[in-house]
């Protein structure tokens, strides 16, 4: 085999390996500046009113539920699937019945890993598995 063919094969293999290695969620979708609605909550019912999570441009988050607003900082592992919410500040809201969103908010705050299903769906796991759909 000629040197040019060997070089070409090495280049093709290197590109394939680089592409296969860059499968972390952040390489597929940066959540900064986006909003998501909780659509599935394993093992529990969703509140009647939606629970929305907003990701700002500087590493913060805001979870907006019928009974509370929670905000803080988020952490995303840029090389893998790690994800977390930190320093939650909770602001109660008037709602009926009280605490209807507590399981959903606890599930979101307990997230440890995330996966990009497609550009409109995120799956997060931790205390419970949750699924989010991108808000328009």
Could you report the per-residue pLDDT of 94-127, keeping only the tens digit for each?
998 889 999 999 999 999 999 999 999 999 999 8
Q: Which residue did the predictor score with more confidence, 11 or 98?
A: 98
Identify the pLDDT of residue 23.
62
> Average pLDDT of 51-71?
97
Residue 80: per-residue pLDDT: 84
**What domains can you pick out in the chain, each with its CATH number?**
3-134 (2.40.128.270)
Q: Which two tokens stand for residue 26?
A: 């952040």
Rounded Cα gap, residues 27 and 15, in angstroms: 16
**Rounded to 10 degrees, what is the CA torsion of 80, 83, 86, 91?**
160
Residue 11 vs residues 8, 16, 27: alpha-carbon distances, Å: 5, 9, 22
Distance of CA 129 to the CA centre of its chain: 11
Q: How confident is the model at residue 1 (pLDDT cuts 50, 70, 90)?
A: low
* pLDDT in the model for residue 88: 97
């Amino acid at each position: 085999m000629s040197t040019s063919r060997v070089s070409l094969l090495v280049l093709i293999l290197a590109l394939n390996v680089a592409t296969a290695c860059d499968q972390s969620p952040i390489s597929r979708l940066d959540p900064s500046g986006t909003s998501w609605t909780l659509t599935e909550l394993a093992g529990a019912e969703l509140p009647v009113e939606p629970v929305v999570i907003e990701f700002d441009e500087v590493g913060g988050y805001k979870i907006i539920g019928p009974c509370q607003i929670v905000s803080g900082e988020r952490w995303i592992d840029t090389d893998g699937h790690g994800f977390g919410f930190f320093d939650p500040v909770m602001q109660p809201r008037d709602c009926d019945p009280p605490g209807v969103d507590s399981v959903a908010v606890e599930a979101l705050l307990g997230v440890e890993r995330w996966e990009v299903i497609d550009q409109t769906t995120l799956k997060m796991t931790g205390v419970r598995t949750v699924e989010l759909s991108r808000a328009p």
